[in-house]
Amino acid sequence: MINLDDILKKLDKTIKENETLITATSGGPDSMALLSLLIKLSQTKNITIICAHVNHNLRKESQEEALMVEKYANENNIIFEKMEINHYEGNTENYARTQRYNFFEKLIKKYNATYLLTAHHGDDLTETILMRMVRGSSLKGYSGFQEITDKETYKIYRPLITKTKDELLNYVKTNNIPYAVDKTNFSEEYTRNRYRLNILPILKKENKSVHLKFLKFSETLKLYDDHINKEANEKLNKVYQNNNLNLKLFENEDELIKRKILYQILNNLYYKNISLITDNHVELILNIIESSRPNLKINLPSKVLVIKNYQNLYFTQNTEIKSYSFTFKDKVILPNNQILIKEETEDTSNYTIRLNSKELSLPLIVRTRQNGDKMEIKNLNGHKKIKDIFINEKISETARNSWPILTDQNNQIIWLPGLKKSKFDKQKHENYDIIIRYR
């Protein structure tokens, strides 16, 4: 009879008395093997096991599999928790993964668990590394996943990482442990399946323990990654603050540290969805950094916008800025500031303008920019394009789209608040009856 005593010993060494464990159990041979090992462990150690099952509702057998897992848990006096995914948004695989881990984290909080155990095995690791090598990733990405991953309040533990799919399948068969076979695992419609069915057998033919070689590869990359991370984190705090990368400081760093800093930023932004990011995205960011053009932007997955504005690079959500047009009476409230009528003030900067209403066509309008906008700047002959003013003042593309412009009823530009005043601005000794402040 096949046993997994080495895994059981490892579990016994890692998991302490009185700990609570969430084990992700799909019903496949891998997760059922893991659940049975935890049940064995509970016979000699005081632990609480929560069997967590997600019904994806993608196959007609899904309901039967959920009942099978629940029955096995009940027969072994294990707490059973389940959830169903009844609709999907966007990429099915990514959406399902997000929903699964949200469910697991809710259970971790509910039961104050210390570990989330998953049945990822050596073949899974090999496939993951191969896929990322072909697709492109970071140093951390190329290492696949580790046996234990530290999260903020718990750890993800993958104790089967040294075993193959065949070993786990033989274990459940010879020990009469119920399991389900997902027929979609044999469909080459899915990327992972193509690696599993076509590439992995060739590698195993060369070396039946190839999964252990990939595990060693993973561990080695992780050591290098940890070392580089330590240095990059020290640099990151100096060059990146408030979602703003200081390019002047950034460009002094070595190429490897530059890339690592960018991966760190993206990892923080994407957190659970870092799989959406590839090395192609990092190359795009580096391209706009190295470009001689001062204002550029690129869109990344999940509506993340990267904006270059001269010596700064901003990372933000790509929320569309809608144009606006308000009739000005005594105050206009804008997204980040306001324009209002003032009584007397000593300020003569570009944040305050004095106007004579007899020289204007009222009412005044506060709006966003339009194609072809020009204004006659105070003390200068002729008109100047608003676009050129923005460029000269080094205003970012995003800020330009929402920057307020004051006009009269005839669409004559009177003021670009905070930047330039037109010929209509009055000095304190001249005649005026309107004072407007931008703040």
Cα distance between residue 144 and residue 211, in whole Å: 12
Q: Judge whether 402 and 369 are in contact, CB under 8 Å.
A: no
Q: What's the pLDDT score for residue 249? A: 93
Q: What's the pLDDT score for residue 143? A: 95
pLDDT at 104 over 90: yes
- Rounded average pLDDT over 358-382: 88
Q: What's the pLDDT score for residue 129? A: 97
Q: Judge whether 305 and 299 are in contact, CB under 8 Å.
A: yes
Average pLDDT of the residues of the chain: 89
Q: What's the pLDDT score for residue 211? A: 97
- Rounded average pLDDT over 378-383: 82
Q: What's the pLDDT score for residue 321? A: 55
Q: Judge whether 416 and 389 are in contact, CB under 8 Å.
A: yes
- Rounded average pLDDT over 117-143: 92
The residue among 98, 160, 78 whose CA lies nearest residue 125 is 160
Q: How confident is the model at residue 60 (pLDDT cuts 50, 70, 90)?
A: confident
pLDDT for 386-418, tens place per residue?
998 888 888 877 778 888 899 999 999 999 988
Q: Which of 116-120, 134-138, 148-152, 248-252 has the lowest mean pLDDT?
A: 134-138
Q: What's the pLDDT score for residue 210? A: 97
> Which strand ranges, in their side-by-side order, compose the sheet holding 331-333?
331-333, 338-341, 434-438, 352-355
Q: Decide: residue 30, CB within 10 A, 0-12 exposed, 13-18 middle, 19+ buried.
A: buried
Q: Decide: residue 258, CB within 10 A, 0-12 exposed, 13-18 middle, 19+ buried.
A: buried
Q: How confident is the model at residue 54 (pLDDT cuts 50, 70, 90)?
A: very high
The residue among 334, 350, 361 whose CA lies nearest residue 393 is 350
Q: What's the pLDDT score for residue 326? A: 81
Q: How confident is the model at residue 100 (pLDDT cuts 50, 70, 90)?
A: very high
Model-wide pTM > 0.75 = no
Instruction: Give phi and psi for 359, each to the nearest 5.
Output: -95, 0
What SS3 state is found at 308? strand
End-to-end CA distance of the chain: 78
Instruction: Give phi and psi for 76, each to the nearest 5.
Output: -110, 15
Q: What's the pLDDT score for residue 278? A: 76
